[in-house]
Amino acid sequence: MSSDLEVLQEALRGSGQRLTPQRMMVLSALAEQESHVTAETLLDLVRLDYPYINLSTIYRTLDLLVELGLVAETDLGGGVRQFELVGTHPHHHLICQRCGQTVEIGDDTLQPLRDRLQSHYGFEARMDHFAIFGVCKACREG
Amino acid sequence: MSSDLEVLQEALRGSGQRLTPQRMMVLSALAEQESHVTAETLLDLVRLDYPYINLSTIYRTLDLLVELGLVAETDLGGGVRQFELVGTHPHHHLICQRCGQTVEIGDDTLQPLRDRLQSHYGFEARMDHFAIFGVCKACREG
DNA sequence: CTTGCAGCTGCAAAGAGTCGCAATAAAGCG
DNA sequence: CGCTTTATTGCGACTCTTTGCAGCTGCAAG
Ligand SMILES: [Mn+2]
Ligand SMILES: [Mn+2]
Ligand SMILES: [Zn+2]
Ligand SMILES: [Zn+2]
């Protein structure tokens, strides 16, 4: 088993990219969270240790981590992007537009769709962290 | 058969909202397009007839039309939202992250997922106009 | 046809995220 | 360890979208 930092280090090495303190700090701040966070929140967290870090660096690092598949990013409805270390726990969210409640669903729910896109269109879909909006059971019945 | 304007009129009436000239102009500008357009493009189009219209009004009208299900909205990858009158032609897009090519797929492709979300979670998903990113067949083989 | 008032509009300013650029510093090498 | 190369950072400017607010107007009631 390899830690997230080792995965990052591994992924950067070879593609000519560098393992900077800023990147490590963003990753470790993410690792301490237990749910979605915004870039702004990460900025505040990292600044506790390193006051000079800039919001652009946070965003660029997050983009990189998303690219590498370590981090999932989605707008869950508030108009602000949320980030989350996914690692070994791929999932998606159902979000009720009436009451705001969100439910987490396993990635396997999307597998049939993935398969169909593959077989019908030859398209390899990368659906990492979907936000699916709609109306929940309680709201529909109430 | 009822025109888009009639649908709009119908939907506004009763919910206490108003059918303003600005809203009609945005809707008719959309109707003249045959594909996705940005808010900025709509601004330019409407300004040909009515130079005083403001970009906020365009966005607010689009939000309303999306809410009513008349218009679909998605960021197709360029970081700018695209709008489109959907009416009777519900569809989604597959977008290749390598070559940028997009393929339109029918809404029926998502029906099995919709059904599953309904039966497993009691969730009535509103998936109007998805942008699904991934790698197309040509790029994967090339 | 007038009036009244919520719902809209235009404007200016704020938020969220991106980009270009000069200065900095990882990494590889001798 | 010191040097070189080039990816990365911090910063300010910029783009896209939303919001607060004061004045305007659709529209329904009289
Ligand atoms: Mn999540
Ligand atoms: Mn479309
Ligand atoms: Zn609900
Ligand atoms: Zn492609």
pLDDT in tens, A44-92: 999 999 999 999 999 999 999 999 999 999 999 888 999 999 988 899 9
CA distance A136 to A133: 9
The domain boundary residue, chosen from A48, A64, A85: A85
Confidence of residue B57 (pLDDT cuts 50, 70, 90): very high
Are A72 and A96 in a shared domain?
Answer: no
B125–A140 C-beta distance less than 8 A: no
The domain boundary residue, chosen from A49, A66, A85: A85
Are B35 and B62 in a shared domain?
Answer: yes
Are A81 and A114 in a shared domain?
Answer: no
User: Domain range spanning residue B120?
Assistant: 91-141
Report the protein residue whose CA lies nearest the C1' of nucleotide C28.
A16
Are A101 and A135 in a shared domain?
Answer: yes
Single-letter code of the amino acid located at A17: Q
Are B68 and B28 in a shared domain?
Answer: yes
Are A30 and A80 in a shared domain?
Answer: yes
Dump pLDDT digits (tens) for B26-53. 999 999 999 999 999 999 999 999 999 9
Here the tokens at position A22 are: 């800023």
B54-78 burial, b for 16+ CB within 10 Å, e for fewer?
eeebbbebbebbbeeebbbbbebee
pTM of the model: 0.92
At A142 the pLDDT is 77
Q: What is the CATH classification number for the domain harbouring A127? A: 3.30.1490.190
Give the H/E segment covering residue B116.
helix B111-121
Are A81 and A27 in a shared domain?
Answer: yes
CA distance A116 to B85: 27
Q: Which residues of A touch B132 (CB under 8 A)?
A: 117, 123, 125, 127
Q: What is the mean pLDDT of residues B113-118?
A: 98
Does residue A19 have a pLDDT over 60? yes
Does residue B2 have a pLDDT over 70? no
Domains of chain A: total: 2
